Chain A
Amino acid sequence: MRRVLLCLGLVACAASDPAAQAWVDEVRAAHVAADGDASEAGDASLRAALASAPPEGVAAAAARARRQDTAYRLARRLLRRGDAAGAEAVADDALDLETMDVLTASLLVVRGEAREALGRAREAAADYHEALRVNERLLDRALAEEGR
């Protein structure tokens, strides 16, 4: 019984890692800073958030979600300012095609837009197609859950 309580305690401690909490605060602060500045200076906080490695206590899926969401936002800002190549590079770097969720599909969309802007229609179409394939699966699941 003592060992069971020890295991539960260790799980609880892992869930409240101060380093992980600091990392979460850092990510939020980066997005808040970007909210207030649409210029290249505002991109710096997002780039810094992308560059910082998550602490060990952070789950891999949480770290990936944070990285892909931040990358999407940075790529979108670059694309709006006309830096399609920069947008493509950021999206390309953050894409993880082994995991197909809503963030991966969004990155595919913004990379497709960047490639379209660069005149690479075929590659753009491939990104859109892949994004729609993931989106369809997620939408089917979401609609099924809504209908319950």
Chain B
Amino acid sequence: MSDDDESLPPTADELREAAALAAALDRSHGAPELPVDAFAAAGVVRYARDGGALEDAAAERILDDVLAAVPGPAPAAERPWWKRPWVLLLPTGVGIAAAGAAILLTLRPGVPGGDLPRPSVALLRAQAEAASGGSSDALDAELTRYRATLHASLEERYRP
């Protein structure tokens, strides 16, 4: 198309070139169908108009496009069950229960958890004497005392 044919309606190619040129002027980049000479012409025109600076609105649109194209942060992975707070509280609760039970049993005199009353030194000496060939009378007497302690402990242990 020559300058002499201005009275004629534009052809389809001319309209496509004009649209691409308008887009290039607006966004500073060309569409695929923009001819190389049209792109260069658009750049010259735009540079002559504003020295190549982007308009604020255009910069905002480009920034929006870039931000939309960037993938967002990955959603937080769900914690496995063994890292959840209640898992930490569970052994703590069990520990408190065990400590409470131990205290309860320890405070009860007698045979807590199966422990027997401690034998006295007198009983053990009488036992050593009997085992060494001496009389067993002292052992019997000391065991009678120990038996009383043992029965008292059992009663204390199992009485409601």
Contact = CB atoms under 8 A, between A and B. Distances in A.
Contacts of B136: 76, 109-110, 113
A145 B121 CA distance: 10
Nearest to B146: A102
Contacts of A143: 121
Chain B contact residues, majority secondary structure: helix
Interface residues of A, number: 51
Interface stretch (A36-44, A56-64, A88-96): A56-64
Chain A contact residues, majority secondary structure: helix
Interface residues of B, number: 40
B15 to A, nearest CB: 80
Interface string A60-73: 11100110010011
A123 to B, nearest CB: 14
A145 B117 CA distance: 14
B61 interface: no
Interface string B102-139: 00110010010111101111011101101111001001
B158 A128 contact: no
B150 to A, nearest CB: 6
A111 to B, nearest CB: 11
B18 interface: no
A15 interface: yes
Contact of B127 (A25, A31, A113, A131): A131
A109 to B, nearest CB: 5
Nearest to A55: B158
B10 to A, nearest CB: 85
Contact of B154 (A62, A101, A132): A62
A65 B158 contact: no
B93 interface: yes
A112 B139 CA distance: 14
A145 to B, nearest CB: 7
Given A16-B158, A21-B160, A59-B114, A109 B121 contact: no
Given A24-B154, A69-B143, 17 more contacts: A4-B100, A7-B101, A21-B155, A24-B155, A27-B154, A28-B151, A31-B147, A59-B157, A62-B116, A62-B157, A69-B146, A73-B147, A76-B140, A102-B116, A102-B119, A106-B127, A139-B121
Of all A-B residue pairs in the complex, the 4 with the closest CB atoms, nearest first, are A61-B114, A16-B160, A102-B119, A59-B114
Interface of A: 3-4, 7-8, 11-12, 15-18, 20-21, 23-25, 27-28, 31, 57-62, 65-66, 69, 72-73, 76, 101-103, 105-106, 108-110, 112-113, 128, 131-132, 135-136, 138-139, 142-143, 145-146
